Amino acid sequence: MVGGTILHSFSILTSGLRADYDKETGLKGQKKVATRKDYYQVLGISPDASTEEVKKAFRRLAFECHPDRNHQEGSSDRFKEINEAYQVLSDAEKRAQYDRYDRLGYSRGFDGSDSFVSGFGDIFEAFFSGTTTTRTRVPERGTDLSCQTTVSFEQAAFGCEKGIDIVRAEKCTLCHGLGTAARNQTIRCPNCGGVGEIRRIQQTFFGRFVNRVVCERCYGEGTIFDQPCGQCRGTGKERKQRRLTVKVPAGVEDGVQLRLGSEGDVGMWGGRAGDLYIHVSVEQHEFFERQGNNILYELPVNFAQAALGDKIEVPTLNGTVTLKIRPGTQAGETFRLKGKGIPYINRQGRGDQLVRVRLVTPEKLNRKQRRIFLELGRSLDKAKAPDHGEKVVQPDEEEFK
Ligand SMILES: [Zn+2]
Ligand SMILES: [Zn+2]
C-alpha cells in the first residue's frame, strides 16, 4: 500500500565490513586537487569579479599563454590552469560551490574538465582552432545495488533480522584500491611523455589544425602505475560475495524499500560507496488481512451464537483472546480489539484488530434441526407479521409430518 517508502539509515549488524570503508585515505596523494591554486589568483581577478570580468581576464590570458603561440617552458601547464579556473568561475553554480567549499581547502576533486569540452569547446575552437582537454581522476561514487527479501506476516509485524546475500565490488584487499602493486610507485606515462595529452595534427580543407586530446593511458595524469596490481588487474576493485544481516523494523508493509547507506559497490578515488536498497515482500497470512496498521479478522458465527450472544476464542498476533458478542449480533458487525494490530513504524503503539462477524448459514440440517428452524421461523413470523397483505411463502411443512 505504501510501496516505495524509503526508510533511511537502518543499521546493519555485520561486523568487520565497515572497517574496510573507513580506510579510504590512501588515494589523497594522487589527486591533483591538493595542489590546486586559487582560481581567482590564476585569472588575476578579485573574488567579487563579475562574470564579464572573468571572461575578459580569461580571453586575455588564454591568448598570451596558448601553447601554439607561446613556446616558453611551462606555458602548457599555465594554459591548463587558466582553462580550469575559467570553467569554474564562469559557471554560476560551480563558482558558488567553489567559493563555499573548495577555495577554503576542502578538496572535493572538482571535475570541471568534461564540461569544458562540451560547453566551452565550440567558442574555444573559434578562438584558437584547436581544443585542449585536461582530466584528473575524480572521485567516483560506487553504484547503488538492490536486492529482495521476503518476510512472513508476523515477521513484518514485529520486525526481524534477515540474512541477505549480495555480490558487490569492494576495494581490492591487496592494493587497497590503488590498482598498483607497489604503493605510490608511478612512472612517467610512455604514451604522452608525462604531458597528459596527445597532440594530433589534422590537415583539412581549411588548413592545419592542432588537436589536443587527453591521454587515454594516464587519463591526463602524466603518470601511470609501474606494475598493475595482480589481484584486481589495476582496477582497484574486486567482486565479493557477502552475507549481510539486515534488521527489518517492526511494522513494515509489503513493497517497502529499506536503504542501507554505503553498503553498495565501493567508490573509487576517494568517492563514497553506493547504497544498498532492499525490497521487502510480506507474505499473506492464512486468516489475517492487513489494513494499514489494523488487522482484519473474519469471525465465523452461527445463528444461535448471533441471536443469543456468546463468548468466542479469537486468534490474534499475541495468542487467543476471548471475545464476547452480545445477543442480537448482526452479520458484518465489527468488534475492535484495541492495540492488537501492527506496531507503528515511527511512533509508539499499535493499530487494532478488527473482528468482523461472518454469519454462517448451515448448509445441511438434520431432522431435528429442521424442525427447530421451522418452529423458530413460524414464531418469528408471528412476532413480525407483514401488514401489507403480501403473500408470505411458508416452508414446506408436509415433509416433516
Ligand atoms: Zn588490487
Ligand atoms: Zn599519458
Per domain, the residue ranges of the chain are: 6-21+141-181+226-282, 32-136, 288-382
Nearest to 136 by CA among 18, 45, 215: 215
Instruction: Give the class (CATH, top level) of 288-382.
Output: mainly beta
Q: Ligand 1: distance of its center to the CA of 139 in Å? A: 17
Least confident interval from 70-74, 250-254, 280-284, 368-372: 70-74
Q: Ligand 2: distance of its center to the CA of 233 in Å? A: 19
Nearest to 278 by CA among 92, 150, 160, 387: 150
Q: What is the pLDDT of residue 160?
A: 96
266 touches 169 (CB < 8 A): yes
Ligand nearest to the CA of 183: 1
Ligand nearest to the CA of 180: 1
pLDDT, greater one: 234 or 141: 141
Residue in the structure block whose three cell numbers are 520486525: 159
pLDDT, greater one: 375 or 2: 375
Kindly state the DSSP code that residue 311 receives in the 8-state scheme: E
Ligand nearest to the CA of 171: 1
Least confident interval from 122-131, 171-180, 243-252, 339-348: 122-131
- Asked if pLDDT for residue 52 goes beyond 60, the answer is yes
Q: What is the pLDDT of residues 348-380, one digit of tens each?
A: 999 999 999 999 999 999 999 999 999 999 998
Q: What is the mean pLDDT of the chain?
A: 77
Across the range 290-309, mean pLDDT stands at 96
Torsion angle of C-alpha atoms 61, 109, 133, 67, degrees rounded to 10: 40
Fold matches, 6-21+141-181+226-282 and 288-382: yes
> 6-21+141-181+226-282 in CATH: which number?
2.60.260.20
Kindly state the DSSP code that residue 330 receives in the 8-state scheme: P
**Which cell goes with 151?**
518476510
The backbone torsions φ and ψ at residue 221, rounded to the nearest 5 degrees and listed phi first, read: -70, -30
One-letter amino acid identity for 358? R
Q: What is the pLDDT of residue 40?
A: 87
Q: Ligand 2: distance of its center to the CA of 172 in Å? A: 24
Q: Ligand 1: distance of its center to the CA of 259 in Å? A: 28
Q: What is the pLDDT of residue 240?
A: 95
| Model confidence, pTM | 0.54
Specify which residues 7 forms β-bridges with: 258
Q: What value, to the nearest 5°, has the Cα angle with vertex 315 and ends 310 and 319? A: 120
Q: What is the pLDDT of residues 164-213, one digit of tens each?
A: 999 999 999 988 887 777 656 678 888 888 888 888 877 777 777 777 88
The confidence band for 385, taking pLDDT boundaries of 50, 70 and 90, is: low
Least confident interval from 100-114, 180-194, 255-269, 337-351: 100-114
**Positive or negative torsion for Cα 373, 376, 382, 385:** negative
CATH architecture entry for 32-136 = Orthogonal Bundle (1.10)
Least confident interval from 94-103, 199-208, 328-337: 94-103
Specify which residues 245 forms β-bridges with: 163
